[in-house]
Structure formats: structure tokens, C-alpha cells
Structure 1
Amino acid sequence: MATQRRDRQRWLVGYHLVITVLTLLSVVNVSLMLGHWGPLASERAVSHGLLVFFAVDYFVRLAVTKNRKIFLVQSAFDLLGIIPLHPVFAFFRLGRLVRLIRTHHLFWRLGLDGAWTKAYHRFIYSTGFIYLFSISVAIIVLSAFLFSLSEKQSLANALWWAVTTATTVGYGDETPHTAVGKIIASVLMFGGIGFIGLLTSTITDFFTSRARQAPSAATTQQQADLTALLQKVDALTTKVDQLQMQVRQLERHH
């Protein structure tokens, strides 16, 4: 039993090392593509191969997991990382590395675990940021895909249009011309902008609450320090009184 457990642990560590290497390779490869460094054909081939690998890995884990609801929530970035609209979505695979770091308690092993990791967990999960972010990205991606089909645009241009529309920037370089495209744009304007507004307010509320809690935490610490100081003063006063009594007794004997 113990041998099987050790073998399983070794296999898991090896698997996570492979995922880590391929994730970093994805990020480097996409960075090279965006910077137009190196042969583009080879970089695209590597990007497509990694996309297939991570897609298979995601759906296999989804099939074997015991709780798919929790898996879908925790692996939202993994799903975004296999969206084939644009190579830049590979950057979402870095979310996998964050979970691997937490799984193996690397920050704790390195002595780096502290308040900031707890704040990160509260920001991502407790505030609902991960859910709002995933829904916002899903709306943008779906709108871009439908816009691409209806307007006969490339997926990259459609994604650019969806992002500029949802963020209310609206450069106007890409606009819908068909009736279906205008309906998609209308849905994105109401749905996407609403969720992005909630996302922005969530981020603002989190940092505002942190700023409010900081002074109160500092005040509490000051009160605790003052209480400890008063206790030490009382203890010192008691010892001084005892010494004075002993001195008086000695004087009486002499």
C-alpha cells in the first residue's frame, strides 16, 4: 500500500513537471509569435500541437473527476487556455501553474507563504472574481465567434471587435453590417458590458475594503502592544515594591 502510494506520488510529480514545462513552452512560443521572432510556420505548428495536448488533457481530467462542478470552477482558466480563437489565450494556462504551486505547497516549503497568498485566495474565490471573469471572457469569445461567422471576418479581427465593444472603447475599425451581426453586437453590449462592470466593481470593492481594514488592523496591533507594555510595567512595579520591602527589612535588622 505504501509502495503504491509512493509510486502514485512520483507519477503525479512527473506529470506536473511535464505540464509545467509545456505551459512555459506555450507562453514562450506565443511571445515569439507576437514579437515576430523566429520562423512563424514552426511556431504555429508548436502552438497547434500544444493546443491539442492541453485540450486532450483538460477533457480527460473532466471525464475522470468525481466532482465536475468543482472542476469546472477551479479549471476555468484551463478551459480558456484551449480556446482556439487566438494564440494569446495560451497565457491563461499560467493559471494551471498557480494551482500546481498551491497543490505542492511550494510557497510554504520555501517559507514564502503568508498574508499575501491568503489575500490572493480571497480575491480570486471569495469575491467571486473567478466566476465573473470566466463569464465575461465566455461572452466575449462566443460573441467573437458568432461575429466571425456572420460578418465573414477572421477570428482575430472578431475577437478584437468583441473586446473593444465590451470595454466600451469602440474604435470603429470593425463594425457589424449584417442584421445578425448587429443582433450579436446588441447582446454583447448589454451582457458583456454588464458583467465587465461587475468585474470592475468587484476589484474596486476588494481593494477598498482592504484599505479600510488596514487602519483598523494597525489600531488593533497598537492596542495589543500597549496592553503588553502596561503588563510589563505592572510586573516591574511589583518587583520594585518587593525590593523596597526587602531593603526596609534589612535596615530594621541592622
Structure 2
Amino acid sequence: MAKQSRGLIAYHVGVTALTLGSVLNVGLLFLKQGNYAVEMAIANGLLAIFAMDYLVRLIITKNRKIFLIQSAFDLLGIIPLHPVFAFFRLARLVRLIRFHHLFWRLGISGKWTKAYHRFIYQTGFIYLFSISVAIIVLSAFLFSLTEKQSLADSLWWAITTATTVGYGDETPHTAFGKIIASFLMVGGIGFIGLLTSTITDFIADRASQSATAQEMQQQTDITALLTKIDTLTGKVDQLQNQLDRLEKSTPKK
């Protein structure tokens, strides 16, 4: 058991190092620092490693449905369309932090971690986000094949189309490309609208809960203050009664 625990910790440390290394490598690619060919080779190598890791975990897991839900960002992190998808691998670090209770060990676990879990899973954000990204990625891939565009340009086109920005720098010219664009406009915009609505509803609900909690606290404080006033009034009345009895018992001169 101890060896298994040490092996698991070593595995998680390795995953953490590879994740941070992949994100750093993508940052260097965007900043155009270093040798581009070497950095792309590193990015592709890390992509292969994370893809194999994902497949192995998918095979050995006991509940694949739960695994697919909890590892949705891991799947996005191995999409080979663009190196920027490596940033989705950071979600793995969040789960490792929760797995080892690092926030609790550091004494910083609290309401915000519960709010994060509630926002990601209980509101359905993870499902809508995964479906939205899947639609965009699939549309970009098909657009790249039909329009003979690079994957990066196709992904840019899919994002601007799904978000209704539509700069017009990339447009479909073939019949299949226009069909793909039509499906993306209908499906992508619908799911992105639901995604936006989920975020706004969560923020509004949190604000409402905060206001309600503040009102309840104020009501509690007022009730406590009134109780103290009643107690003080009762004591004053008792003191007054004692004074009255004392005056009556005192003989007049």
C-alpha cells in the first residue's frame, strides 16, 4: 500500500511537471521565443504522451461515464488542432489539488472551492462547455478539409462564427463549407447562448443568496438587539419596583 501510494504521488508529480511544461512551451510558441521547430516537436511529443495517458485511464477506469464527465477538459487538452488546447490540461492540476486536499492542508479551503465545484458540475457548465467546444472543433476540422484551409485558420473561423462576431476574413466558398457553416450557426450559437445563460444565472443566484444571507443576518441582529432591550427594560422595571417598595417601607420624618 505504501509503495502504491508513493507510486501514485510520483505519477501525479510527473503529470504536474509535464502539464506545466506543455503550457510553458505553448507560451514560448506564442511569444515566438526560441526554436519554433523544436518547440513544435516538444508540443507534439507532449500531446502524444497526454493522449496515451488519457486512453490508458479510460481503459482501466471502472466507471467510464463518470470518467468522461470529470475528464472532459483532459479530452480537450489532447485535441491536435492547435497548441493552445494545451491550456485545458491545467484543469487536471485542479483535480490533483482536490485529490490530495492541498487547499485543506494549507488551510485555504473554504466557500470558494465549494462554489467552484457547484459552478462546474451542478449547473451543467461542464457539459455545455464540452458540447460547445466539440461543435466548434468538429466544424473547424470539417471546414479545414472542405475549404483547404489550415487548422488554425479554420478554428479561428469556427470561433468567430459561433460567437456571432463574424469578421469575414475567413468565409466558406464551397457548398459543403456553407452547409458546415449553417450547422455551426444553429448548433454553436444555441449552445453558446445556453453557456452564457448558465454563467449569468449562477452569478445572479450567488448575488441573490448573498443578499438573502445579509438580510437574514440583519434580521437576526435586530432580533438579538430587541431581546436585549426587553431584558434591560425588565431589569429597569424590577429596579423601579424595588425603589418604590423601599420608599414605602421608609418611615416619613
Answer yes or no: same fold by TM over 0.5: yes
Q: Between Structure 1 and Structure 2, how many residues are aligned?
A: 249
- Aligned residue in 1 for 2:107: 111
Q: Distance in 2 between matches of 1:106 and 1:233?
A: 47
Unmatched tracts of structure 1, length 5 or more: none
- Aligned residue in 1 for 2:68: 72
Q: Which of these residues, 85, 105, 123, is aligned with residue 127 of structure 1? A: 123
Cα distance change of structure 1 residues 140 and 245 upon mapping to structure 2, 3 Å threshold:
same
Mapped pair 1:170 → 2:159: no
- Comparing 20-29 with 6-15, greater Cα deviation is found at 6-15
Q: TM-score w.r.t. structure 1 length?
A: 0.90
Cα distance change of structure 1 residues 139 and 227 upon mapping to structure 2, 3 Å threshold:
same
Mapped pair 1:157 → 2:149: no
Q: TM-score w.r.t. structure 2 length?
A: 0.90
Q: What is the percentage of aligned positions where both structures have the same residue?
A: 73
Displacement after TM superposition at 1:161 (Å): 0.6
Map 1:173-212 → 2, pairs under 5 A: 173-212=169-208
- 1:167-220 Cα offsets, whole Å, 9 max, x none, are 111111111111111111111010011100110111111111112222111011
Unmatched tracts of structure 2, length 5 or more: none
CA RMSD of aligned residues (A): 2.2
Q: Distance in 1 between matches of 2:241 and 2:110?
A: 49
Query: Which SS does the other structure have where 1:169 is aligned?
Result: coil
Q: Distance in 2 between matches of 1:126 and 1:241?
A: 55
Amino acid in structure 2 at the alignment position of 1:24: L
- 1:10-66 Cα offsets, whole Å, 9 max, x none, are 111111111111111111000000110111111111101110110000000000000
- Aligned residue in 2 for 1:10: 6
Displacement after TM superposition at 1:147 (Å): 0.5
- 1:62-121 Cα offsets, whole Å, 9 max, x none, are 000000000000000000000000000000000101111111111111111111111111
Cα distance change of structure 1 residues 9 and 187 upon mapping to structure 2, 3 Å threshold:
same
Amino acid in structure 1 at the alignment position of 2:83: P
Amino acid in structure 1 at the alignment position of 2:101: H
Displacement after TM superposition at 1:226 (Å): 3.4
Q: Which of these residues, 35, 38, 43, is aligned with residue 39 of structure 2? A: 43
Mapped pair 1:85 → 2:81: yes
Mapped pair 1:95 → 2:91: yes
Cα distance change of structure 1 residues 193 and 238 upon mapping to structure 2, 3 Å threshold:
same
